[in-house]
Amino acid sequence: MSALSLSGRELAAAVRTETAARAAELTAAGVVPKLAVVVATADESSAWYVRSIAKAAEKAAIVCEVVDLGAGATADAVRAALTRLSADDTVHGIILQTPLPAGAALEDLAGAIAFEKDVDGANPLSLGRLAAGLPAFAPATAEAVVDLLEHHGVKTAGRHVAVVGRSTVVGKPVAHLLLDRDATVTVCHSRTSDLAAVTSAADILVVAVGRAGLITAEHVGSGAVVVDVGTNPTEDGGLTGDVDAVSVAGRAGALTPVPGGVGPVTTALLLRHTVRAAERR
Ligand code: NAP
């Protein structure tokens, strides 16, 4: 048996096409959608991600302003940039890239992103509203996981989903989104005892840890659907997920590839959120 590959490229292309059409309508009406990306790191995988956002934005006729404060920036400088962009009427969406400088916490700084411009759901207000079932932008990666499952016809209602990772960027919001879709959700983390026993009992496994090859066949139930959110740089300049695809392919029913799974959908959703934020103004 070899697992079905759940590509994100087709869904991402559809979202980008729809977003570009809406961006063109807005521009014709005199509002040019603009996304600001605040960077305070020299991290190479972050730089790769920012380049891919900027490229996708350009194709969709969305202006992307990268505010690079440098790896030595202070938390105060990051907060000041977010506050300035929040007050700038020409900016509709704001993303704060991680990693952040030492001593700066995302949950703390992201509170400076205006709620209505928080297109990556980083402001704690957005996560709180999401948890309460109220309208807010969800973190794009968490939404990408759910949209990708839906796109491939994977039902979540009544099914047991194990999420590995409990970050505010992926694990927690994805758990809330899946609960809202009537899944039974178990959230695992570094202190979970006997991870394989928990994850192998799930119908659907979502992995967002950041450790290449953490998930092997023993962690996966026979025929389960596996969503690999992890993006770990490889020595040859590529990317690999948290799932050991070779070992898991023989056991899972379906598996998202890395690259080409959750990643492209995430980028497309950030642009969709930016256009939505611009439309609301
Ligand atoms: P993070 O903030 O570092 O969180 C990692 C989570 O994994 C934590 O909850 C941690 O548990 C848990 N963990 C660590 N070791 C574990 C283990 N041995 N067993 C079980 N759980 C373990 O990371 P993140 O920001 O959520 O990102 C996770 C991955 O997703 C990274 O590879 C990142 O690059 C990728 N990512 C991809 C996209 C995309 O668009 N594709 C977007 C965002 C992130 P504790 O809470 O107990 O420490």
Report helix, strand or coil for 121: coil
Closest CA to 97 of 145, 146, 36, 165: 36
Q: From the CA of 232, give the closest atom in ligand 1.
A: 32
Task: Confirm if 187 and 208 have CB atoms less than 8 A apart.
Answer: no
pLDDT score at 1: 61
CATH dotted code for 31-113: 3.40.50.10860
Q: From the CA of 98, give the closest atom in ligand 1.
A: 25
CA-closest residue to ligand 1 atom 39: 263
Q: Does an H or E element contain 195, and which?
A: helix 195-199
Range list of H helices, 88-189: 106-109, 124-131, 140-151, 171-180
pLDDT score at 246: 96
pLDDT score at 112: 98
Q: Judge if pTM exceeds 0.95.
A: yes
DSSP codes, 23-65:
HHHHHHTT---EEEEEE----HHHHHHHHHHHHHHHHTT-EEE
Report helix, strand or coil for 5: strand
CA-closest residue to ligand 1 atom 19: 190
Q: From the CA of 192, give the closest atom in ligand 1.
A: 20
Task: Find the 213 Cα to ligand 1 centroid distance in Å.
Answer: 13
pLDDT score at 45: 78
Task: Find the 65 Cα to ligand 1 centroid distance in Å.
Answer: 27
Q: Which fold has domain 140-261?
A: Rossmann fold (3.40.50)
List, for the chain, all residue ranges whose pLDDT scores fall below the cut of 50. none
Task: Confirm if 143 and 109 have CB atoms less than 8 A apart.
Answer: no
pLDDT score at 191: 98
Pocket of ligand 1 (CB under 6 A): 141, 164-167, 169-171, 188-192, 195, 208-211, 214, 229-232, 262-263, 266
CA-closest residue to ligand 1 atom 4: 167
Domain boundaries, the chain: 31-113, 140-261
